[in-house]
Amino acid sequence: MASSSSSSSWALLFLALFALSNVSNGEAPSGLVMDFYKESCPQAEEIIREQVKLLYKRHKNTAFSWLRNLFHDCAVESCDASLLLDSTRKTISEKETDRSFGMRNFRYLEDIKDAVERECPGVVSCSDILVLSARDGIVSVGGPHIPLKTGRRDGRKSRADLVEKFLPDHNESISSVLEKFSAMGIDTPGLVALLGAHSVGRTHCVKLVHRLYPEVDPALNPDHVPHMLKKCYDPLPDPKSVQYVRNDRGTPMKLDNNYYVNILENKGLLMVDHELAHDPRTRPYVKKMAKSQDYFFQHFSRAIALLSENNPLTGEQGEIRRHCNLANKRFSED
């Protein structure tokens, strides 16, 4: 009796030590780890970094796309690169839904994937490439370097039907936005920091004309209105035409805290941007981030890491896609 109970307590002790050692190795409950490809493709992260830099030199806006991709992929149930899948005969893809309006540069992500595949065929997932390109894109536009875990695997299905459930619309209430982010473990300062991504890039007039016509939204800063009207001269813009306003007129190519200064001055373009500065739950953080770029970056880094770890596929789940826009063919090994 005594000996069997002591051997089971030894077993328990070993289990506890094993669990502890995993924690100290940085293994998260998500199953992701730092430098997952250390042995299987040691040069993976460097290749991605180089490709992101090269692409940024040629097309600055690729960096904005990598950042927006992270939100649109990870917030829709899982960071599984389902965002990148093409529509099929039977289903329409996430990237072709209305919430994905204006998303661009997907073909350049394939260039990154191809560069990685040349060195390590079939090893590095599109979801990790999506996440790491966002991390390196953030650095390109002057943001912080954020250490992020890897080991995600790729989903096989695009979930256009779920996009509206998970991704807030441009005019959604702050309550609903807070709820959607808190379901991913992202708190209020985390949400406020992530929306700082709107300090780069553009917004198409189709998402803005309801604030300009038939009459101008009185909440808009009157000094900003002439510029918006000039860019969005058409009350019913053709969705295919490239009419847009830059998100941050001051420093449109830099990820910085100017976004918070803008929204406090009622120069936020989207309704959510405007509300963020005026809702009593978010306003205090908006003010702090407007004052301190460090404070913004600190919460931004934390929240990007949380977003990037939302519900990934790991281990034997999913697959490593050969091409990011297509699920692998089943039952054919080569």
* Residue stretches of the annotated binding site: 73, 76, 80, 82, 94, 168, 198, 248, 251, 256
Burial status of residue 147 (CB atoms within 10 A of its CB: 0-12, 13-18, 19 or more): exposed
In sequence order, the β-bridge partners of residue 246 are 202
Task: Rule CB under 6 A: choose which of 129, 195, 228, 261 binds ligand HEM.
Answer: 195
Residues annotated within the binding site for heme b are 198
Packing angle, helices 62-74 and 106-119, rounded to 10: 90
Burial status of residue 29 (CB atoms within 10 A of its CB: 0-12, 13-18, 19 or more): exposed
Q: Binds 171, which of ligand HEM, ligand NAG, none (CB < 5 to 8 A, cut-off by type)? A: ligand NAG
Q: Answer yes or no: 278 catalytic.
A: no
Q: What is the DSSP letter of 328?
A: P
Between the alpha carbon of residue 137 and those of residues 70, 85, 144, 296, 303, the distances in Å are 11, 21, 10, 17, 16
**What is the closest distance, in whole angstroms, from the C-beta atom of residue 72 to ligand NAG in the complex?**
16
**Phi and psi torsions of 316, nearest 5°:** -95, 0
Q: Binds 267, which of ligand NAG, ligand HEM, none (CB < 5 to 8 A, cut-off by type)? A: none
**What is the closest distance, in whole angstroms, from the C-beta atom of residue 78 to ligand HEM in the complex?**
16
With binding defined as CB under 6 A, does residue 217 bind ligand NAG? no
Task: Rule CB under 6 A: choose which of 51, 203, 258, 325 binds ligand HEM.
Answer: 203
Encoded one letter per residue, x for contact with ligand NAG by CB under 6 A and - for no contact, window 284-303 reads --------------------
Task: Rule CB under 6 A: choose which of 64, 108, 285, 296 binds ligand HEM.
Answer: 64
**What is the closest distance, in whole angstroms, from the C-beta atom of residue 29 to ligand HEM in the complex?**
23
Nearer to ligand NAG, 8 or 175 (CB): 175
> Could you tell me which residues come within 8 angstroms of residue 313 by beta carbon, excluding any fewer than 6 positions away?
78, 80, 127, 152, 153, 154, 155
Nearer to ligand HEM, 170 or 288 (CB): 170
Task: Rule CB under 6 A: choose which of 53, 59, 157, 170 binds ligand HEM.
Answer: 170
Q: What is the DSSP string of 93-127?
A: -GGGSGGGTT---HHHHHHHHHHHHHHSTTTS-HH
Considering only the stretches 15-23, 65-73, 106-114, 211-219, report the one whose residues sit in contact with ligand HEM under the rule CB under 6 A.
65-73
Count of beta carbons in the 10 Å neighbourhood of residue 44: 23
With binding defined as CB under 6 A, does residue 77 bind ligand NAG? no
Selection from 67, 82, 316 nearest residue 199 by Cα: 67
Nearer to ligand HEM, 6 or 175 (CB): 175
**Spatial contact of 254 and 200, defined as CB atoms under 8 Å apart:** yes
Task: Rule CB under 6 A: choose which of 171, 176, 182, 221 binds ligand NAG.
Answer: 171
With binding defined as CB under 6 A, does residue 201 bind ligand HEM? yes
Residues annotated within the binding site for Ca(2+) are 73, 76, 80, 82, 94, 248, 251, 256
Tell me how far apart the alpha carbons of residues 266 and 174 are, in angstroms, rounded to a whole number: 16
State both tokens at 264: 């406090």
| H-state helical runs in 145-208 | 160-166, 174-182, 188-194
Residues that bind ligand NAG (CB under 6 A): 169, 171
Residues that bind ligand HEM (CB under 6 A): 61, 64-65, 67-68, 70-71, 101-102, 104, 168-170, 177, 194-195, 197-198, 200-204, 207, 270, 272
Catalytic residues: 72
